[in-house]
Chains A and B, each alone.
Chain A
């Protein structure tokens, strides 16, 4: 307001804008990398409903509440819902995608180590949302 010079504020704004540009560029690049589904990924159909998960493998095997996958393969989840919105989440592999009725959302991952991980619902879906959990079993390759 008064006639002081304002150059420190301009430098400050420039630094903030530069930082945000860096954040945006890095995030854009990382998202581009993780979104590209590799060729030959096996499709697993994931269905959420109140209050459990159903998995259907390419060969027709159906699992409820648990999912068996193999190390070294890439899997593409096709996620849908039968009733309300859920969110399919394997936090240890940073896999997260909403299950929206009437839509099919996809996300992919490639397990690297043998082990078990929690599968959970991360979108509020009612009474037993807190216990809409499952287990992911990562196993040695069968062949």
Chain B
């Protein structure tokens, strides 16, 4: 790979490069920067909720509008500017190597897709909109202040185009550019996960792109698609939005599972238990991801029949997800597992994946949705996915990639401390939030009445968030220090596992 710090190149050479590892590096650095930015917003939210505001005390954020803007940008940032670019980073580094091609299929398109992210991020961050990450009309039309809201709409529009371009590139690279000796049944599961993800993006994103345009014209007063005052229907937006963003949930989680498929066999020193069932479960999840969007909308006044259909569609995703878990467990069975940081993160991620999935089953069991909907339960539930599963797999994979990217080893003890603190913190924050939801605390609130149970649980959650914050500081220090001063890695076998890695090295990519 690039080994920038050992053989430095001028920064503009990387910025204007179209080589897949350079673009991968740009994606990687961007996504990590936004992980820290979005994470610090989360800390601000948790500090604000540590105490209820009683007569002006216990207040950290100036006013509720600022708070609303913070959680909106927090969600938008971590989903669109951390998780998705991180998967693109991994894909850019590894997909061409896995399918044995010299680069991505369309290198220039690849660079364009990346360079759409900074302006989009600037729109989101400079605007700082307040209408939550799903911009529900009519609030987003009649009540949300501009120009922040409009900037958010344009930002998301650009990000949508960027991910469609990236997805086209992955599909073509994997299907058309793979080595002629390689059948599609030999493509590694990480590349499969990106292939399936890309297909979901191409199918799902246009719906949201259309909804965003309609939202914009509604805001400008030119149309009334979602504005009841002009005869529109706000629930139509919910359908369009969730038709894109329920599948998008799988866009987030499938690459994470793919990363675990790379880490777990490697560190168990044993091939994956069943490659075929992994591929089958990926394809099955892609299909059923389109059958469950309505479960976000049970409380909008859906009929019994609609709810039943979407509940069945949601439950259908469980067996396929469970197949992945089975595959991981069966792979570790009889292995000789080395618990370096990547493996710890991957195993921790699988453990939390189960809890997240079980919470999801509760949400979709129709009447229970009315106990959990829009409460802190839901916050805890989806954070177990995005943080507990996806971010865990991603961070694990970052540790795994680290010697390839920098040619040096990260500090293993710090990596383990990072894992342990994050794991404990994650459990404290998000399991507590589940219980808090059962006690009825609504999400997206700037303040809450001083109910003793709520106060205690909010404080436990905030302490957990602080622990994650500390672990992330260790992480950042480790990454910065080790990429410059870390031990030189044995680039043939950095983790001392034996066997064959996917080597993304200069030596194996001679034209770089």
* A→B interface (CB under 8 Å): 1-2, 6, 8-9, 12-13, 16-17, 20, 23-24, 26-28, 30-32, 34-35, 50, 83-85, 87, 89, 91-92, 94-98, 100-103, 105-106, 118, 120-131, 133
Residues of B within 8 A of A (CB): 64-65, 68, 130-132, 136, 138-139, 142-144, 228-229, 233-235, 271-272, 274-277, 299-301, 304, 307-308, 311-312, 315-316, 318-319, 322-323, 326, 330, 361, 364-368, 370-371, 373-375, 439-440, 442-449
- Among residues of B, the one whose C-beta sits closest to the C-beta of A2 is B271
Leading 8 A-B pairs by shortest Cβ distance: A91-B440, A102-B228, A27-B365, A105-B301, A130-B445, A31-B366, A84-B139, A101-B228
Interchain nearest-CB distance for A98 vs B (Å): 5
What B residues does A129 contact at CB under 8 A? 64, 68, 444-446
* Docked-complex contact B367 and A127, CB < 8 angstroms: no
Q: Tell me if A100 and B301 are in contact (CB < 8 A).
A: yes
Residues of B within 8 A of A101 (CB): 138, 228-229, 234
* Given known contacts A24-B311, A26-B365, A28-B366, A17 and B304 CB-to-CB distance under 8 angstroms: no
Which residue of the partner chain B has the closest CB to A33?
B367
* A111 CB to nearest chain B CB (Å): 16
Q: Contacting B322 at CB < 8 Å: which of A13, A89, A94, A98?
A: A13
The CA of A94 and the CA of B318, in the complex, are separated in Å by 26
Q: What residues of chain B lie closer than 8 Å to A121, measured between beta carbons?
A: 442
**SS class, residues of chain A in contact with chain B:** mixed
Question: In the complex, A103 Cα to B234 Cα: how many Å?
Answer: 10
A27 contact from B64, B311, B323, Cβ within 8 A: B311
Contact B374 A122 (CB under 8 A): yes
Distance of A93 Cα from B262 Cα, bound (Å): 48
Contacts A1-B272, A35-B304, A127-B65 given; indicate if A27 touches B368 (C-beta within 8 A): yes
Q: Which residue of A lies closest to B278 (CB)?
A: A1
9 A-B contacts, Cβ less than 8 Å apart?
A: A31-B304, A31-B308, A32-B304, A87-B299, A96-B371, A96-B374, A122-B443, A123-B374, A130-B442
Contact B274 A122 (CB under 8 A): no
Report the separation of the CA atoms of residues A86 and B184 in the bound assembly, to the nearest whole angstrom: 49
Q: How far is the CA of A47 from the CA of B176 in the complex (A)?
A: 57
Q: How far is the CA of A34 from the CA of B275 in the complex (A)?
A: 45
A130 touches B447 (CB 8 A): yes
CB <8 Å contact, B312 and A24: yes
A50 CA to B144 CA, complexed, in Å: 13
Listed residue (A27, A28, A94, A127) with the most chain B CB atoms within 10 angstroms of its CB:
A27
Residues of B within 8 A of A12 (CB): 322, 326
Name B235's contact: one of A92, A100, A120 (CB within 8 Å): A100
CA distance A6 to B278 in the complex (A): 13
A103 near B235: Cβ-Cβ < 8 Å: yes
Residues of A near B272 (CB, < 8 A) are 1
Chain A nearest Cβ from B309, distance in angstroms: 11
How far is A95 from B370 in the complex, measured between Cα atoms in Å?
A: 7
Provide the residues of chain A in CB contact with B130, threshold 8 Å. 126
When chains A and B are docked, how far (Å) is the Cα of A20 from the Cα of B452?
36
Hey, which chain B residues are within 8 Å of A13, CB to CB?
A: 319, 322-323, 326
* Complex contacts, B440 vs chain A, CB 8 Å: 89, 91-92, 118, 120
- Residues of A within 8 Å of B447, CB to CB, are 130-131
- A34 and B367 form a contact (CB under 8 A): yes
Partner of A1, one of B64, B235, B274, B307: B274
B229 contacts which chain A residues (CB < 8 A)?
101
Residue in contact with A130 in the complex, picked from B143, B315, B368, B446, CB distance below 8 Å: B446
Contacts of B442 in A (CB 8 A): 89, 120-122, 130
Check if A30 sits within 8 Å of B65, measured CB to CB.
Answer: no
Q: Enumerate chain B residues within 8 angstroms of A26, measured Cβ to Cβ.
A: 365
In the complex, how many angstroms separate the beta carbon of A28 from the nearest chain B beta carbon?
A: 6
Contacts A26-B365, A122-B374, A129-B444: A83 and B143 contacting too (C-beta < 8 A)? yes
CA distance A13 to B321 in the complex (A): 10
Q: Find out whether the CB atom of B326 lies under 8 angstroms from the CB atom of A84.
A: no
List of A residues within 8 angstroms of B234 by Cβ: 85, 100-102
Quick one: given A24-B315, A27-B366, A94-B370, are A85 and B274 in contact (CB under 8 Å)?
no
* CA–CA, A101 and B301, complex, Å: 12
Interchain CA distance A125-B373 in the complex, whole Å? 15
Q: Is the CB of A1 within 8 A of B275?
A: yes
Residues of B within 8 A of A50 (CB): 143
Give the distance in Å from the alpha carbon of A85 to the alpha carbon of B297 in the complex. 12
Please determine whether A23 and B64 come into contact, CB atoms closer than 8 angstroms.
no
Give chain A residues whose Cβ lies under 8 Å from the Cβ of B370: 94-97
Q: How far is the CA of A20 from the CA of B320 in the complex (A)?
A: 12
A9: chain B residues at CB < 8 Å are: 274, 277, 323, 326, 330
* Pair A98/B301 contact, Cβ less than 8 Å: yes
- Measured between beta carbons, the chain B residues less than 8 angstroms from A133 are 449
Q: Which of B300, B326, B447 has the most CB of A within 10 A?
A: B300
Contacts of A87 in B (CB 8 A): 299, 373-374
CB contacts (< 8 Å) of A84 on chain B: these are 136, 138-139, 142-143
